[in-house]
Structure 1
Amino acid sequence: MEIIHNLRKHIPYWILVMSSYGIFRYYGFADSLQMPKPDISGETLPFVQILGIFALLGLGLGVFYACVDFFFEKYVSKRLGIGTRQFLRVLSYFLSTVFIISMITFVASNILDLGIDIYFGWWVREKQFWAIMYYIVLCSFVLYFISSTTERFGKGKYLKMLFGRYRFPKEERVVFMFLDLKDSTTIAESLGHYKYSELLQECFFDLNELVPQYNAQICQYVGDEAVVYWSYEKGLENNNCVSLFFAFENLRKEKKESYLKKYGIHPAFKAGIHGGKLIAVEVGHVKRELAYHGDVINTTARIQAECNKQNESLLISEELLMAMHKEFRPESKFVGNILLKGKKQGVNIHSIDG
């Protein structure tokens, strides 16, 4: 699923930006960049063919860049420092770019009989290559900015913030899950702060692999706790809010031997889930972020805190459980009408065993 996500992000973007480059090249920028238009029998290469060549180049770049990102996120990000990782990633991008441009140029030259000579190291002194490379670098920064901002605020939220939707408080329906490491204090004392941080880092890395598959977003990390959220509809769709927790449980079970070998323990998590109406608003200036205010967040946190008292791994409010489609509603056990801390009325809570 992660590779599909990367392909969906890179391919449309690079086809768009490289097609735009083809348009710029065709309509007048070629002369200033010292890039004469290809000529066949004394006639300029048709615009459609130029656009097709650059669109194909964008497709190739998108596929290769998506594969590079997937490889580094999946196999390299946890093994190397940020500096080394970024250097190798940029080097991989550069080699991919050289390969793709060489292949597209070679194929286009043979099909359209352009007579372009592609030899080893041809790109070193080729001004056209460095012009395209400079353009690709600029577009890469734009994509990185968009991706980082989208990951920070969530899909759909960034555009809404960009157009000022959250400059003033807006009411929304959201599902929250507070996910917390069991026996965290004991584990931290036994492992030490460095090893303990490595454990949390790996656990949350595993969680992040699953989050896109269940249409979820990470709201924030607070110590050993992750706060995950959905729009109300997406949280209920296919029981995503419950399915994510058990997918995370299954992934940890699959990696049990790895956790035991590295840390001497097999981490377990508990979670509370609840949903409803709350207020979303943009806060801060120096460090701007989207904040959620309302009883839903407090109630979800209190429900998660009940896991230890009730000796359960997953608790959910009856209100949210009943909102799920009756035919696909997960089996549950009624825990009781619990008077949560700070509440004047009890909340009906159920446990789900998977």
Structure 2
Amino acid sequence: MPMLSPKAKRNILHILPFGVLWLVFSLVYTLLERGLLGNLTYYPATGNPYFFTRNIVTTPLAALVTGLIMGVLEVFCFNKWFVKKSFSKKILFKSLIYLLIILLFLVITFIGTATDTVAAVSRKAFWNTAWVFFTDYAMLSTTVYIASIILVTQFYAEVSDSIGHAALLNFFLGKYHRPVQEERVFMFLDMRSSTTIAEKLGHVRYFEMLKEYFADLSQPVIDYQGEIYQYAGDEMIISWKLKAGLQNGDCIGCFFAMKRGLAQQASKYEARFGLLPGFKAGLHYGMVTTGEIGVLKKEIIFTGDVLNTAARIQGLCNHFGVDILISGHLAKALGPNLSFETKSLGQHNLKGRDEHMEILTVVFAI
């Protein structure tokens, strides 16, 4: 059985929470409905029969499917259609689309309450009852309840995009509520000649270019199992758990996939900004302490010498006239790899470190 790609895993992990949220809300609704109707065996507004044993299964199931559909729409459609829209416009446009989903959901639910669905829809009395139901206070309250689910799921989607799905999941699970030590690979990636580019473009157009630049560099991070830790000005810090970063040389493969991806967008950058930005990177691995920090604003941060070292290594790229440098420790951990070759640049004393460290560059990659 073929393994799921990192992109497919990421999409599934983004879609599932929508289904879970709808499932939980529907269970709450079904139990509240039971409490309000008590021992009644029919809906007072419509006279349709009410069966709790049926609803406790069908309503959550329908809600789960609806939530998963919404998750698919968010991941494969809305994230692309509305990526450049403001939050308020996202809410407006998505709400209009979700309104159609709500109406469809309610129609299906209403028809499903009929004892003999096929016979019922052909009778005028059925449609009269439907009109009463859809204009009744119960219908309006149900619509408001479902609207609240949409707001929660949209809030989840926006927060997930803002702080990262992995970070949000870790907050929920409390994985790093207490500090945890773990080995990680870090890549410090920095734009070349950023000051010169900013002066040429002006601050507003430079910022617009940064948005395009970071967006185009993000897909390889997904494809090669990385996590974007931070954006710092024109710098991107990418992290991998050690096993993921070493697997198939993914931390190196990610860099060259970024190079290829940006080169493919050369015409776009030349047309819009009159230049194609370049970048350089330094990579190292080691032990870090990971944990939540902050009171007014919480973040999950990494602390450890490995971050400073990776930054220092990246700072040597201009000195050696190369785009990528890695530490000897990382090169040894990666081992022989058919996808790339390395060239040693000798032992060097990095600022802030007592011992010398071997630095290598990658001279060939497929």
Shorter-normalised TM range:
0.7 to 0.9
| Aligned match of 1:95 | 100
1:102-251 superposed matches below 5 A: 102-103=107-108, 105-106=110-111, 112-113=117-118, 115=120, 117=126, 125-144=135-154, 146-147=156-157, 157-158=167-168, 161=171, 166-251=176-261
Q: From 23, 32, 50, give the equivalent of 1:16.
A: 23
Contact 1:38 1:45 survives alignment (8 Å): no
Code of the residue aligned with 1:274 in structure 2: it is H
Contact 1:65 1:96 survives alignment (8 Å): no
- DSSP 3-state at the match of 1:332: strand
Measured in 2, the distance between the counterparts of 1:202 and 1:150 equals 20
| Aligned match of 1:84 | 89
Measured in 2, the distance between the counterparts of 1:165 and 1:100 equals 36
Measured in 1, the distance between the counterparts of 2:253 and 2:247 equals 10
Q: From 55, 59, 64, give the equivalent of 2:61.
A: 55
Measured in 2, the distance between the counterparts of 1:336 and 1:328 equals 22
1:248-267 superposed matches below 5 A: 248-267=258-277
Greater alpha carbon shift after TM alignment, 27-36 vs 334-343: 27-36
Code of the residue aligned with 1:99 in structure 2: it is L
Code of the residue aligned with 2:65 in structure 1: it is L
Q: 1:155 to 1:262 in 2, by over 3 A?
A: closer
Runs of 4+ deviating beyond 6 Å: 32-35, 37-40
List runs of 5+ in structure 2 lacking aligned partners.
1-6
Q: Is 1:67 matched with 2:73? A: yes
Measured in 2, the distance between the counterparts of 1:260 and 1:106 equals 56
Measured in 2, the distance between the counterparts of 1:12 and 1:283 equals 30
Quote the offset at 1:137 in angstroms. Answer: 3.2
Quote the offset at 1:206 in angstroms. Answer: 2.1
Give me the TM-score of the superposition, normalised by structure 2.
0.80
| Aligned match of 2:311 | 301
Q: Is 1:321 matched with 2:331? A: yes
| Aligned match of 1:276 | 286
Measured in 2, the distance between the counterparts of 1:169 and 1:74 equals 36
Quote the offset at 1:104 in angstroms. Answer: 5.5
Q: 1:163 to 1:251 in 2, by over 3 A?
A: closer
Q: 1:20 to 1:50 in 2, by over 3 A?
A: closer
Once the two structures are aligned, what percentage of the paired residues are identical?
Answer: 28
Measured in 2, the distance between the counterparts of 1:228 and 1:35 equals 58
Measured in 2, the distance between the counterparts of 1:267 and 1:153 equals 25
Quote the offset at 1:152 in angstroms. Answer: 5.8
Measured in 1, the distance between the counterparts of 2:36 and 2:134 equals 22
Q: Is 1:348 matched with 2:358? A: yes
Quote the offset at 1:246 in angstroms. Answer: 2.2
Code of the residue aligned with 1:52 in structure 2: it is T
Code of the residue aligned with 2:352 in structure 1: it is G
Superposed CA RMSD: 3.7
Measured in 2, the distance between the counterparts of 1:33 and 1:296 equals 66
Quote the offset at 1:61 in angstroms. Answer: 4.0
Q: 1:303 to 1:111 in 2, by over 3 A?
A: farther
Contact 2:102 2:146 survives alignment (8 Å): no
